[in-house]
Chains A and B, each alone.
Chain A
Amino acid sequence: MEIKKTAMAGTLESSDVQIMLSQGSDGITFDLVSDVAKQFDDAIKATITAVLALYGVDNAEVKVVDKGALDMVIKARAMTAVQRALDLADEPNWEVM
């Protein structure tokens, strides 16, 4: 699946994460800023990549501003962002949730 439009989910509150997805052409690329990047950058990228894979997204630019969100929060924000980016927000893809 291709990203249809740039979409965002999440806030900049502590323990939240803001994820912005835009069209890409070179696989999944990350621009990651996180308070806990030294310990969790790989984990954050892996979680988001896994969510994108569930929706069949192979190409995307992912901008992440993480404020120490737990994994489940990252997953939820990634799902919301990708549904918005794929124009599925009105009819969510329940199977992947």
Chain B
Amino acid sequence: MKNKVARDIPDNILKQMTRKPFNGVTYGHPIAQRVAPKVRATTGRDKVLSSIDEVVAKTVADGMTISFHHHFREGDYVFNQVMRSIIDQGYHNLTLAPSSLTNVMNDIVVEAIKKGVVTNITSSGMRGSLGDAVSHGLLENPVVFRSHGNRARAIEQGEIKIDVAFLGVPNSDNAGNANGMDGDAAFGSLGYALIDAQYADTLVLVTDNIKAYPNTPASIKQTQVDYIVKVDAVGDPEKIGSGATRFTKDPKELKIAKTVNDVIINSVYFKEGFSFQTGSGGAALAVTRFLRQAMINNQIKASFALGGITKPTIDLLNEGLVARVMDVQDFDKGAAESMKDNRQQQEIDASWYADPANKGAMVDQLDVAILSALEIDTQFNVNVMSGSDGIIRGAIGGHQDAATAKLTIISAPLVRGRIATIVPNVTTVITPGDSIDVVVTEIGIAINPKRQDLIEQLSHVPGLPIYTIEALQQKAEKIVGQAKPLVFTDRVVAVAEYRDGTVIDVIKAVKD
């Protein structure tokens, strides 16, 4: 069956997974019943266990759904320790439901799949050897990819039922009061993990830093925690976030960043009290710098910055150019470290950040979102999931969620090496073109024709060439030549949901 973005979703997949095809970006006002976790009553005096093996033996059973967060990113020690114990103790048929999977987790997940320990996965994304293995059909059941907001929705509505959550924290007391802001492996906001803490039947904290009771501020509360395990180290501080932020010197990235800035400041949204979300990465950081100067020049202040936070955004907060930072994740040390001293840097959970099925998420208030892309097509659909070889190598993150902003800008180079970024048809649709407003490249911009208002606002800006998206696509093709279409088998290895839980696309196994 063809869905609203003209992707053919096999009927047997829809039936087998009881999903509906994507049918548009509007969520409306459906009423949903949320689920509640089981609670094992305790006085809280017997929570600290001596080893991961012991806590795994006490909590895990065949067929369960287990979860993790990815706030330690490439410096994560918790995931590997827990999964090693689970594999060695011989469990089978588990569903792995982390907020996302980083490269340090790849090898052990591949091993767990091969041994039948893990038979289902849902995640924001995957890359490297795991993405490669899944794209070659290693896992029998399709992986389900969900955005951060959609994961929160799916957990709240019971579509993901977490039996045991193993959450690494850089500090906790012996009753389970914990936060992400303090300790050797501090990473700042616990945003994604807070949903697991709220909805898992059993919650295990893994920490290397037991603090005196009661430990505050408590992002995770003792009322939610079943067990605490002390380990030597939960993460490698050097790899948790990128170190000192360096601004890009790449002239192409700078040109793109300056053009993004031109789009923002010449739109009607650039006014006192506006709000924005930028991602990480060279161009996004450079946008923040250009935007800072524009805010100073025009005496405009922002009401909030949202999403994954970096040091340059914290600098805007400290300068008084941004009133609040609404922080679901911190990408670098500077952002992570400032949280504990800065009351204006508010930790938010994934539901508050981006869930369409609550009573109002932050993204619903967002004016400007600057997002990246692996591919954009002439329908403005965006792929952030599969690479130019068709292999899974990305993550939805908050892309679909933040793209609902009033002005959604995709910043991307026209070509990367010999790979065109703007193509006739993206390999995998992750974010529908209906929620994309402007595409910015180094040679100029394209505006979604349904945004005639933006075309008008941006038509007379000096040095801001406007092309049709088709013209940009043809320019890219002229540079790189015409690519042969990728060849896939018929086997579906992954299903990408839209943020409302419908199926926006499927990913098939590659043919080598």
Contact = CB atoms under 8 A, between A and B. Distances in A.
B417 A15 contact: yes
Nearest to B415: A70
B418 interface: yes
B6 interface: no
Interface stretch (A21-29, A35-43, A48-56, A80-88): A35-43
Contact of B389 (A38, A69, A70): A38
Interface in A7-49: 14-15, 35-36, 38-43
A70 B479 contact: yes
B481 A43 contact: yes
A68 B390 contact: no
Interface string B345-383: 000000000000000000000000000000000000000
A19 to B, nearest CB: 15
Contacts of A15: 417-418
Nearest to A36: B418
Interface residues of A, number: 15
B419 interface: yes
A44 B169 CA distance: 51
A79 to B, nearest CB: 18
B484 A40 contact: yes
B418 A38 contact: no
Nearest to B484: A39
Nearest to B487: A38
B32 interface: no
Contacts of B389: 38
Contact of B481 (A14, A35, A38, A71): A71
Q: At the interface, is chain B mostly helix, strand, loop or mixed? A: loop
B485 to A, nearest CB: 8
Contacts of B31: none
Nearest to A14: B417
Contact of B388 (A39, A42, A70): A39
A67 interface: yes
**Among A36, A41, A42, which residue has the most Cβ atoms of chain B within 10 A?**
A36
A67 B417 contact: yes
A82 B459 CA distance: 50
Contacts of B419: 36, 39, 68
A69 B480 CA distance: 9
**Among B418, B480, B483, B486, which residue has the most Cβ atoms of chain A within 10 A?**
B418
A68 B484 contact: no
Nearest to B480: A70
A64 to B, nearest CB: 13
Contacts of A67: 417
A17 to B, nearest CB: 10
B417 A39 contact: no
A48 to B, nearest CB: 14
A71 B419 CA distance: 12
Interface of A: 14-15, 35-36, 38-43, 67-71
Interface of B: 388-390, 417-419, 479-484, 486-487
19 contacts: A14-B417, A36-B417, A36-B418, A36-B483, A38-B388, A38-B389, A38-B487, A39-B418, A39-B419, A39-B484, A40-B418, A40-B481, A42-B484, A43-B482, A67-B417, A69-B418, A70-B418, A70-B479, A71-B481
Q: Which 10 A-B pairs have the closest CB atoms?
A: A68-B417, A39-B483, A68-B418, A36-B418, A38-B389, A39-B484, A15-B417, A43-B481, A71-B481, A70-B418
